[in-house]
Amino acid sequence: MTSYYLKFANEAEANDLLYLYEPTEWDNSDPENPIATAWEPRPIYANIDTIGTIYKPTGEMLMGEDGECPAMSALDGWHVNVLVVDEDASTLEPYAVTPAAPVRVWG
């Protein structure tokens, strides 16, 4: 088993790499030439943990209704963890990062 911490430019880029889109509905108005009209994602890897946008404290404190809370800033990218077990992970390598303190890890 290998854990991959991945960073993509955005959600669409991640989904294009991690999912196959299979047709679920068809336009059969021309029975000789049906056309797919709806698609559903199917994961390529068995273990995908989508984190999305990661927020980190800026060091500034804000006053809210319930008291002080830290101001947060979004980090660049769309983040996903993939646990690979007997799967080809070669397409993941270009997106792999090594976080000093991962937001989530596989248990």
- What pLDDT does 33 receive? 85
DSSP letter assigned to residue 103? S
What is the Cα–Cα distance from 34 to 32, expressed in whole angstroms?
A: 6
- What pLDDT does 64 receive? 86
User: What are the boundaries of each domain within the chain?
Assistant: 2-18+46-97
What is the Cα–Cα distance from 75 to 3, expressed in whole angstroms?
A: 21
User: Which SS3 state, helix, strand or coil, does residue 52 take?
Assistant: strand
Question: 14 to each of 10, 38, 53, 69, how far by Cα in Å?
Answer: 7, 20, 12, 31
3-state secondary structure 14-39: HHHHHEEEEEEEEECCCCCCCEEEEE
Residue-wise pLDDT tens digits, 33-53: 888 888 898 999 999 999 999
Question: Which residue ranges of the chain lie beneath pLDDT 70?
Answer: none
- What pLDDT does 37 receive? 85
Where are the alpha helices (H) located in the chain, listed in sequence order? 11-18
